[in-house]
Structure 1
């Protein structure tokens, strides 16, 4: 047994999107950090769709960026198409999305990590969490290497006891072509509950064999809107071939590639239905629960049998590859069936499959075993982030990684933890849902999950979160200075809109009209301020009444969150509480009265008894 000479503050297991944000956050806070991964060549790999953002997910990416994270700027540097989803709808549901060059994203992420002070990258397959006095104190790899650390963050993705399925064939692995991890065995030994989930991915096609003339072209937005609040920093540190896009002359320059739309048809559906006996899902070979909101094509055909077609998106995987991702046909059917049903689709009659679709089952740990900091209740100084917590998606993983890495470091530095409320961020909604309610299927974020979504818009994430990041020490002076400049500019624009005449009154009065839009203003009037500032002010004016009501609800939420509950409160001692309520409160151990109120099955009467008991104490 070899014990590595250097002892670390934070050890991060895994180098996916959660691992990247966890390691970078801990290192930015000045902690000596180690990232350990099975394969250094797959750091930041986009195992499924090479896209970042989407409904509610785009808001989370902007929140990650506002907190100093990596995902937004790396997406801006390596994307090949940008679109604002729901641009014709209200501001609460507008969500940015970008299609990335997956290899450029991956290699640039690795370059960012390698250049980060206080961060080391090493290759190793961790098989065991080491503990001392009940606390996490390091890790052990399959080669007998022990690395000691003061805290450990686990971000294992789909690798824990991963099992891949194509038809009735299966093989061990966390991802096609990669091995799996036995770390969940160690977690079971430490007393953690471990469950089983599954996810899937579609086949990839050779673009040279696709007839795009039969497909509908889908281009990107012009001008493209970057994810990061500091896109001018794109080329500051990494002048390499993996930074595809640039900020120049005050503009974001992207050479955008189109995506393409086609559809399945009755022939496609018949081929799938007639081969369901070969599907591991329908043949009972898969035990794990899959994502309800991202079903396989088999599920779509069975569950929505009344539909004659399903829309598919053909998305390029990069600027220097011919591979296309077929968004909408996630499948685990055997190769011959995939080949047949793909060729029944318009434009794909001669398509060659470069990689088959497959399903993967993996171990996860129900997230009610975590504190809101993402530290485990069972083992202090051990944190979980990403798909180990039952979530699905790069953005959900990255958000958890940042919070877990930051809290691991802040605890070691004896500073207050970073906990975001449901009113602060989609990240707060995500973590509160996980640790309070748990999840019975792979969790995916939607705008409908956030009760304060008009407040949690994609355009104001920096205003909401950068001050919090500054207090924690997560961001540099430049980000803080830029935020202060934006706040000052917004104040000037409010004054300008309230004093400048247009349309028979002041600009502010004119913008309140439903039919008015700042883009209709003469250039001479709008030019003094950037379009993004006009967007923010216009939303403030048009939705002032809704925003005021939401602010009142947020204030009520904050009052409940300020009422903390003792960590060792004996719920059995509270007379009148139902047995179910006692069991749930004792299991989840809510940190605040507000969190207790959100536990499924806890009633207003239960909360009243709890409040009376605490007041008597």
Structure 2
């Protein structure tokens, strides 16, 4: 009898198993092969817009992905640095082989965690309550809770041209019976589709026809525990390369649209809106003369390059023509052909905010099986599902992050409140409070909560407290440091485009001006605290007004979130509420007034009536 059984060792499954075991729960991780733990069947990278902040949040809650990403990264790059701090985001090019090895070694040496290398066949459910997992060889694992993180492996089919093959990603087996057992229990499933580009032999690429895309020359990291010696020095990091599709590429694709699995009628599931196949791009953006593609290394131990942005479900012979029409790839050798993949996902509207299924008690779901896309979204959900499964075993209240606390909170709220018809992807535009949900303040937002629930060690928490104390002391120094209006200050201000000043002021007031930095003033004041503390203080000072406004708006949200809605409310017969609102409320069955207000089709007048009836 295990406390928590996790099905699947992808990015969601790893975080769920690690969280539960850190919280001292006897945990079983069920996977067909430990060698495939943390596999990257699609893009060999971690992070990116919004996603990179999720990885930072995972770190603040004690997760493993940030550490693995840092230590196996081939390149670090900070994105959106010309914009405001609310959209800054780190992305690393990953060594997919080293990443898997890191995960395997860590999982093999984690206390309270047992890895079971078997295939799940079905869920053992009795009276709408999970009892365990039955494996294909007849083995039964009994568990108080189960976390389902099967990714794209449930009833999956690989699609190329007019051919469909029952298979999971990277030629791994798929299983039909698992989704059948879910449907038998009353859980709704639907078909989704995603895809992956071809891989080509690196040595056969003519890089002289490409544009070099280096990383950022600075010490960057996802995990606050990572030290400079843990990552590749900048001069040893790999570079990526940029190319564009050509008129010939477009001609080949358009003339073979009928051969694409997506346009031949073979694909039934809905594909990702924000990561479409190249043929879909040509159809949807017919006016675009070209589309950018990135050539990305997959691993130091592999001679393969990933053609980012060139996902397709064309037949192999057409792919040969397409790839060889690209600059620098005219004579390349294709190592692995692209494909689309269809799979069963679970309707996330049947999920509670704590990731537990509404139909089957003690069953938690996380990752792509919930209708999302991306390693980072999966890992964030897995972490939360593992935490909440462990809390459920102990009979403790669920751990739910608000939309103003984390991108993870935004994602889970979107899923269980709005649902999804296509693979969901996190975007900065989905967060109303993105100035509060920054790359630099993830620890400030979440680390204490991670410590309280048992996912963050005391050593890590003590280090965080010391850092917070250092920041507060630095602010005190800046508030007391008076900068004279001398030639040195005016020369600095003039260099930034400001008019000279004839009066001195406190350094913290000077920092309110755009472009003025602690480092820039250090030659005048002699005050400097290092890059990370400087940056944190500068953001707080320069954006103080905006941050305070966002916090006020968030407090209004918290007031609505504090109004709980009874589980037995009869929405169907509720008077003075629109028919659409009654139907939507009955389908979603929100747990708070705040969640109800975010359901598509619910008007403010409906919420006002609902609030009155609840009171």
| 8 A contact 1:68–1:475 mirrored in 2 | yes
1:175 to 166, 169, 180: 169
Task: Please name the residue that 1:242 is paired with.
Answer: none
Q: Does 1:185 align with 2:180?
A: yes
Structure 1 pair 523–412 and aligned structure 2 pair: CA distance change class (3 A): farther
Does 145-154 or 411-420 show the bigger shift? 411-420
When normalised by structure 2's length, the TM-score is: 0.95
Q: 1:364 Cα deviation (Å)?
A: 0.3
Structure 2: distance between partners of 1:156 and 1:480: 33
In 1, the alpha carbon distance for the partners of 2:322 and 2:582 equals 52
Aligned to 2:493: none
The whole-number CA distance in structure 1 between the counterparts of 2:346 and 2:184 is: 13
**Structure 2 equivalent of residue 553 of structure 1:** 553
Q: Given that residues 452 and 554 in structure 1 are in contact (C-alpha distance below 8 angstroms), is that contact kept between their aligned partners in structure 2?
A: yes
Aligned residues: 595
1:127-167 C-alpha deviation (Å, 9 max, x unpaired): 11112342101000111111101010000000010000121
Asked if structure 1 preserves the Cα contact closer than 8 Å seen for 2:3 and 2:390, the reply is yes
- The offset of 1:17, in angstroms, is 0.1
Q: Is the partner of 1:522 in helix, strand or coil?
A: helix
1:459 aligns with 2:440: yes
Write the deviation string for residues 58-101 of structure 1: whole angstroms up to 9, x where unpaired.
00000001000000010011000000000111000111000010
- 1:216 counterpart = 2:199: no
SS at match of 2:236: coil
Contact 1:247/1:253 (CA < 8 Å) preserved in 2? Answer: no
Distance between the aligned counterparts of 1:517 and 1:277, measured in 2? 57
SS at match of 1:553: helix
1:206–1:351 Cα contact (<8 Å) kept: yes
By how many angstroms is 1:512 displaced? Answer: 1.0
Matched, 1:246 2:246: no
Corresponding residue for residue 3 of structure 1: none
Say whether residues 1:90 and 2:84 are aligned partners.
yes
- How do residues 168-567 of structure 1 correspond to structure 2 at under 5 angstroms? 168-182=162-176, 183-232=178-227, 246-247=229-230, 255-502=236-483, 503=489, 504-522=504-522, 525=525, 528-567=528-567
Please tell me whether the aligned partners of residues 574 and 609 of structure 1 are also in contact (alpha carbons under 8 angstroms). no
Deviates more, 1:124-133 or 1:185-194: 124-133
Q: Deviations along 1:505-557, whole A, 9 cap, x unmatched?
A: 22212211113233423358576412111111111111111111111001111
8 A contact 2:7–2:120 mirrored in 1: yes
Secondary structure at 1:176 match in 2: helix
In the alignment, the residues of structure 2 paired with residue 535 and residue 349 of structure 1 have an alpha-carbon distance, to the nearest angstrom, of: 45
Q: Deviations over 1:23-62 (max 9, x none)?
A: 0000010000000012222111011011000000000000
Tell me the CA shift for residue 475 of structure 1: 0.8
Query: Structure 2: how far apart are the matches of 1:515 and 1:91?
Result: 13
Equivalences for residues 586-605 of structure 1 within 5 A:
586-605=586-605
2:499 corresponds to: none
Within the candidate set 42, 55, 60, 1:48 is matched to 42
| Residues 224 and 254, structure 1, Cα contact 8 Å, conserved in 2 | no
Q: 1:53 touches 1:97 (CA, 8 Å); kept in 2?
A: yes
- Cα RMSD (Å): 1.5
Moved more, 576-585 or 215-224: 576-585
Q: Given that residues 129 and 139 in structure 1 are in contact (C-alpha distance below 8 angstroms), is that contact kept between their aligned partners in structure 2?
A: yes
User: Take 2:172 and 2:64, find their aligned partners in 1: how far apart are those partners?
Assistant: 25
CA distance in 2, matches of 1:401, 1:30: 17
Distance 1:524 1:72, change over 3 A: farther
C-alpha contact 2:71 2:230 (8 A) present in aligned 1? no
| Between 372-381 and 133-142, the greater mean CA deviation after superposition | 133-142
Whether the aligned pair in 2 keeps the contact of 1:77 and 1:246 (CA below 8 Å) is no
Structure 1 stretch displaced more, 552-561 or 251-260: 251-260
CA displacement, residues 188-223 of structure 1 (integer Å, 9 cap, x when unaligned): 111111100000000001010001111111111112
Instruction: Confirm whether residue 9 of structure 1 aligns to residue 6 of structure 2.
Output: no
1:181 to partner: Cα distance: 1.7
Q: Which of the residues 62, 69, 83 maps onto 1:68?
A: 62
SS at 1:564 equivalent: coil
CA distance, structure 2, for counterparts of residue 46 and residue 78 of structure 1: 13
> In structure 1, the residue corresponding to 2:552 is in which secondary structure?
helix
Answer whether contact 1:8 1:148 (CA < 8 A) is retained. Answer: yes
Distance 2:595 2:233 in 1: 42
Tell me the residue number matched to 1:59: 53
Distance in 1 (alpha carbons) for counterparts of 2:108 and 2:523: 45
How far apart are the structure 1 equivalents of 2:181 and 2:363?
Answer: 13
Matched, 1:109 2:109: no
State yes or no: 1:581 paired with 2:595.
no
Deviation at 1:462, TM superposition (A): 0.4
Give the secondary-structure state (helix, strand or coil) at the position aligned to 2:249: helix
- 1:226-252 deviations in whole A, cap 9, x for unaligned? 1001114xxxxxxxxxxxx8349xx97
Hey, what's the Cα distance between the residues in 1 that align with 2:89 and 2:581? 38
Query: Secondary structure of the residue that 2:423 maps to in structure 1?
Result: coil
What CA distance in whole angstroms lies between the structure 2 residues aligned with 1:254 and 1:457?
Answer: 28
SS at match of 2:241: strand
Q: 1:271/1:9 Cα in 2 relative to 1: closer, same or farther (>3 Å)? A: same
TM-score by length of 1: 0.94
Structure 2 residue runs of 5 or longer lacking an equivalent are 484-488, 490-503
Return 131-140 or 368-377, whichever deviates more.
131-140
Which has the larger displacement, 490-499 or 282-291? Answer: 490-499
> Residues of 2 paired with 1:587 and 1:268: CA distance?
46
CA distance in 1: counterparts of 2:366 and 2:473, whole angstroms: 41
SS at match of 1:362: strand
| Aligned counterpart, 2:132 | 138
Local SS of the residue matching 2:169: coil
**Cα contact 1:80–1:254 (8 A) shared by 2:** no
Q: How many Å separate the matches in 1 of 2:405 and 2:578?
A: 32
